[in-house]
Amino acid sequence: MSAPLTSVAAHRQSCLDLVRPLPPLDLALRDALGCVLAEDVVSPRPLPAFDNSAMDGYAVRVRDVETATEENPVGLPVVGDIAAGRADTLRLVGGTTARIMTGAPVPQGTEAVVPVEWTDRGVSHVVVRRAPVPGQHIRLAGEDAPAGTLVLEAGTRLEPRHIGVLAALGRARVRVRPRPRVVVVSTGTEVVEPGVTLARGQLHDANGYLLTAAVEDVGALGYRVGVVADDARELAAVLDDQLVRADVVITSGGVSEGAYDTVKEVLSAPGVHAVRFDRVAVQPGMPQGLGTLGEQGVPVFTLPGNPVSSFVSFEVFVRPALRRMLGDEGPDPQRPRVRAVAGTGWTSPEGKEQYVRAAWTRDAAGRFVVEPVSGHGSHLVTALARATCLAVVPVGVSEVAPGDEVECVLLGPLPPEAALDVPGARA
């Protein structure tokens, strides 16, 4: 009898234990999108830094124009012209005005800015047809954030809005967890590059592209290595070469029980690599390997060769580990889970946690409804492409009947219309 299977939870924990969040690094702002902030960001000065005009208009003292109406406009001499970027300190003399542009510093003594739309747009003399209230159209220094404000907290995953505020605070660099560099190696003598005409017995490398894209989708850096044939010496050489630039290595193929399962052969040989091969209670994706490569101890995940198995293994085991390296632990905003009602039934191997490629919809009552997209075959890539979620059937369940509730991992963020008012949705 073969050894009992490792549970999904235990294998996932082993994958998490294999990696650490990468040490923080100062990155140029342009490179920081998607990275997790490793510092609290405090405003070094007031934002805005100086009182400035919110409109193109005229800087005034309120009392000088307080009687202005359409019928009884008020005229004022225009004694200056203040463009944005003006650096000298100006003072507004009572009974006069200065033309001022949006973003230009307001002269001392300014109580309001009259928008050009309320005037005759005069250059040396202006007619004002409406009275502003005190402070109108003046943006005060520090009204966005006084100096010393905590603007972003460590742990924030940087989105474009965050990059914008960091730039506004004057930050050229920012301390973040860097993106792990993930080397993706496909193995198989039968596997050839897309673009190459297939000879009999060959197929195109789906996994290398799928996994590299999945790596980048998580926010890590994916380096796809060309396909390596089922040759132990060649595979060992490629892995050795790649270690210098890898924080993680992912391989696909060559880990089952057949002859020519080269990944298993090379990585379980005694030597510098420390990789163990387990049978995990998951369908698809039972044969899984994990460990470290070389003296550097680079974490490696060896995934099965069938593309669907590779994908599911990545989702269930590798994705959480990469998020950990990115410093992004906790619920995955890209992978919300919902409870859905099975629209049709299917069977599941009782001893395994099953991940079924499925598509979700909403019924008239707003409930999520889930249906498998095709048969169970792990080579069925077109069905995989149609899936919008993975329905998870726990160990101990051998059949899902129509109407049963199943937990589903959505393969993308919850669309806004679905997020509205959905009972049972937890992002």
Binding site for ligand AMP (CB under 6 A): 186, 188, 190-191, 203, 205-208, 252-256, 258, 304-307
Q: Which helix (H) or strand (E) holds 251?
A: strand 248-252
Contact 131, 154 (CB under 8 A): no
For ligand AMP, the closer CB: 265 or 332: 265
Give the nearer residue to ligand AMP in terms of CB position, either 160 or 201: 201
Q: Would you call the peptide bond into 107 cis, given omega within 30 degrees of 0 as the criterion? A: no
| Nearest residue (CB) to ligand AMP, 64 versus 205 | 205
Closer by beta carbon to ligand AMP, 262 or else 348: 262
Binds 172: which of Mg ion, ligand AMP, none (CB < 5-8 Å by kind): none
Nearest distance in Å: CB 186, ligand AMP:
4
Cβ-proximal residues to 234 (8 Å cutoff; 6+ apart), any chain = 228
d(CA 342, CA 363): 12
Burial class of residue 217 in the structure, from the number of CB atoms within 10 Å of its CB (0-12 exposed, 13-18 middle, 19+ buried): middle
Shortest Cβ 21–ligand AMP spacing (Å): 30
Tokens of 213: 């894209």
| Interacting partner of 252 out of Mg ion, ligand AMP, none (Cβ under 5 to 8 A depending on kind) | ligand AMP
Q: Is 384 left (phi over 0), alpha (psi -120 to 50) or beta?
A: alpha
For Mg ion, the closer of residues 107 and 188 by Cβ is 188
Closest approach, Cβ 288 to ligand AMP, in A, equals 11
| In the complex, residue closest to ligand AMP by CB | 305
Binder of residue 34, out of ligand AMP, Mg ion, none (CB less than 5 to 8 A by kind)? none
> Residues interacting with Mg ion, by CB under 5 A?
188, 253-254, 305
Residue 157 amino acid letter: R
Nearer to Mg ion, 60 or 263 (CB): 263
Q: Residue 292's binding partner, choosing from Mg ion, ligand AMP, none, with beta-carbon cut-off 5 to 8 A by kind?
A: none
In the complex, minimum distance from the CB of residue 365 to ligand AMP, in angstroms, rounded to a whole number? 41
| φ/ψ of residue 200, rounded to 5 | -60, 135
Q: What does residue 389 show for φ and ψ, rounded to 5 degrees?
A: -160, 170
Rounded to whole angstroms, the Cα distance separating 238 from 229 reads: 11
Q: Which amino acid is at 4?
A: P
